[in-house]
Structure 1
């Protein structure tokens, strides 16, 4: 029996990057949820949709992904960061978080998602 399609929450405030992520995730065989452009929209999606993992932009306008990452951790939903920040520029709490560096390629996102989901199955 085939396993259900994994649902991936997309949190990205740049519309073009959000569209690219949505396409990559969909073409990789996953079901995109969102995208959400800010933390509140992402939290609203978490209240109404089941998700298996998330891709978070670290900087969402004037806010960071910190509180959203905390909520995902609380729910035991694995996540990765898609960010233009150098890993050393991120807060210490993200030192072991999976990161896809912007600008990213399709293969980068696919591989990071596969590793994230395998690690948490």
Structure 2
């Protein structure tokens, strides 16, 4: 990884409650030089990290986190101007239209594709 790599130092928040998928995504982002914030499995923890973290460059959000919908996390990221993608088992049609700009990845997913989309 060189210092001119656009992924180097990219800070990505991972919000995913499936442990093994969260770890796989973290490994993929880190292998591309990104710094992973999290992963966290709940809305509350995600909101705490958003508040406590000075710089976030992007985020990956599961929609259903331990039975709670993650739209408040998406709203907090949008308020800070942080781009995010949805990685979820839900159909794309269930996502409110106000998040139409966010890319969607249905599960099962390929973590490398999610990373490529966010780091592009």
Q: TM-score, normalised by structure 1?
A: 0.84
Give the Å deviation of 1:25: 1.0
Give the Å deviation of 1:112: 1.4
Give the structure 2 partner of residue 17 of structure 1.
21
Match among 27, 32, 57 for residue 28 of structure 1? 32
Please say if residues 29 and 36 of structure 2, whose CA atoms lie closer than 8 Å, have aligned partners that are also in contact.
Answer: yes
Work out the CA distance in 1 between the residues paired with 2:115 and 2:73.
22
Give the structure 2 partner of residue 118 of structure 1.
none
SS, match of residue 33 in structure 2: coil
Give the structure 1 partner of residue 12 of structure 2.
8
Give the Å deviation of 1:93: 2.6
Give the structure 2 partner of residue 76 of structure 1.
81
Figure out how many residues of one structure are paired with residues of the other and give that number.
115
| Structure 1 unmatched ranges of 5 or more | 116-121
Q: TM-score, normalised by structure 2?
A: 0.85
SS, match of residue 13 in structure 1: coil
